[in-house]
Structure 1
Amino acid sequence: MPKDWAGSVDLHLHVDIAAGRRAGLERALRAAIADGRLAPGTALPSTRALSAELGFARGTVTAAYDQLIAEGRLVARPGSRTRVARFTAATPAATAPPPAETWTEVPGAPAHDMRPGRPDLSRFSSAAWGRSTRRVLSTAAAEVHALGDPRGRPELRAALAGYLGRARGVHADPARIVITSGYAQALGLLAAVLPGPFAMEEPGHFLHRAIVERAGAEIIPLPVDDLGADPGLLGEAGTAVLTPAHQYPSGATLHPDRRRAFTAWARDTGGILIEDDYDGEFRYDRQPVGAVQAVPARR
């Protein structure tokens, strides 16, 4: 019967032993080399380790390795692990992965990339991030590596609640915070369960509109001017999606009167406000604007 192995090279081998264990292992290794799962230069497990994983005699694994070495598919050197040959007569070398996308400066190109969503990554302190990560992991209990609470680590949710209260004026309960991979995932989850139609800024981010549309929600456009989104056209909306601190793409900040109007609408109708607070902390000409959630509704 077939045996499966997931070993130290992170490769899944399907060994069919119907014709014998050695023959089955040889065929499985040949197939893995031929289709590129075992790339040229990949180190194989020792015969002792592989025989223990498969439950085969060590001599069986040694004989299979020797056969593939004789065929030129594997190479073995004294004091070194057996590896897949760089080039073999029987199989072409695996195609190297394409190089990662890189940007090269060309004559006449702008000195600064001002496209949205592209921060200056050179300003990120990898050293500080690494030190913080090592400090936390060196003192963390083993259970932090388990799946844990689906809402996210309680320490992270508590830290976020404290920060949002201090920096953004948000009334946040750690028990009601859910950690997602980012705004796009959060919006997709909310669009699937919150009442529609969805009122969204026009113009606004096309990807966010597409996320809501994929959830099957009707969209009501909210015109944007120098004062931000206009709450006068909420109509029958059940949920409104706003970027009040820094409207995309206009850059407008939602006027205080309109902030109060949106919160009053939510209070009076039971509507839901989704606040995308991106760039809320980034103000270089004035004090950062607080989140709409902290604004009292107009009476």
Structure 2
Amino acid sequence: PRRTGGSPRTGTSPGAGAAAPSWSPRPSRHGRRLYGSPPPPPRPAACSPPSPARTCSTCCARPRPGSICPPASPTSPRSRAPRGCAPNAPSSPPSPRPTSATAIRAAPRRYGSPSPTGWPATAGSGPSPTRSWSSRAPPRPLALLGRVLGDNGIREIAVEDPGSLGVRQHLRHARLDTPPVPVDADGIRVDVLRAQGAPAVLVTPAHQFPTGVVLGGHRRRELTRWADAGGLIVEDDYDAEHRYDRPPVPALRSMLPERVAYVGSVSKLLAPALRIGWMIPPPPYRDAIVEAKRYADLGNAALPQLVLAHLMESGAMERQLRLLRTRHRRRRDAMIDAIGARLPGAVVHGAAAGLHLMVTFDAGFADTDLAAAALARGVKTQPLSWHSRARPQRPGLVLGYAARTATEIAEGVALLGDALRTVR
């Protein structure tokens, strides 16, 4: 018969006293790289002679002509494995589960290189099978965390001011009050947070939204002392991997993992449409969050998680991040140059990292009027006042540059300059 791979066959013909075959299954190089598994166990020592039994497609890696396996007994491993025994089969359950897939939890730790998702590089020790779970980007973990906090008697979570309007809306939808805490050049004012008496706070320490400031060293120490005294920190690491002119900033979770809930996603690294995010909750809330996730949607699809794990393990994620940093740096520089040429008197904030710029004006007009005038010319922006509970001292806009080319950015800022002249 035709040889189908492996070592040369030995012995006589299959029908008369065939010797034990020396062939053993081996996964392909791609299979070993994809799943990172050790070499599979050797094939069973021998197969029975030809009989009406079914072909050897379950206990062997590949069926061989003339080789027949005996029927499975009720107690054999094959009868208890409905998904088969093929080597390197993905270890994914038949239904989703609330916690993340094993492959995505093990990928950063197994390969040890700084992950663009922030797990080993900024979050400390990285995810583990008992600490992390996947979600559909940050709004879902914030909603579930709000539900769990409410069940534990926490009715409010402080937020940065200015801070993300969308985050406040999601927290309010979870029936949590969101008292504002002012932000200055060093980040959130911990003294005001302490005076307010809020039991929890949501912060963006690596790149504050929308101002772009980094939480200073003394503020980080003050904030961790506040949390160590009983407070809870929700750390939204929404775009820390996009940095251009400064080194990475360690996550607060690496300093106080038992009091920090770490939230992130790949929306700004791969695509928002993937809806892949995660949370590493502190131990006191982990079981309650997993239970809330289970009753909310039973879990996320395993296939996108396995694809993400493969991208991390193969180095494709790091290559994508290097490509994006180079591209976004060019687009950021193009926007800064266009602002300097078309928006006289504008001050740019937060240019060292992220995918947006905050621009403020020393003038007495309403930034909502400027945003409306720009929208009428085909340029969509966000007024700074949207993201602030207290009226900003100076009008401003939040401008994104990641989705447009340098030429489109220059054209858009020119139209924004025309709109600015109409409202001044």
TM-score, structure 1 as length reference: 0.50
Ranked by relative contact order (alpha carbons within 8 Å, sequence separation 6 or more), the top structure is 2
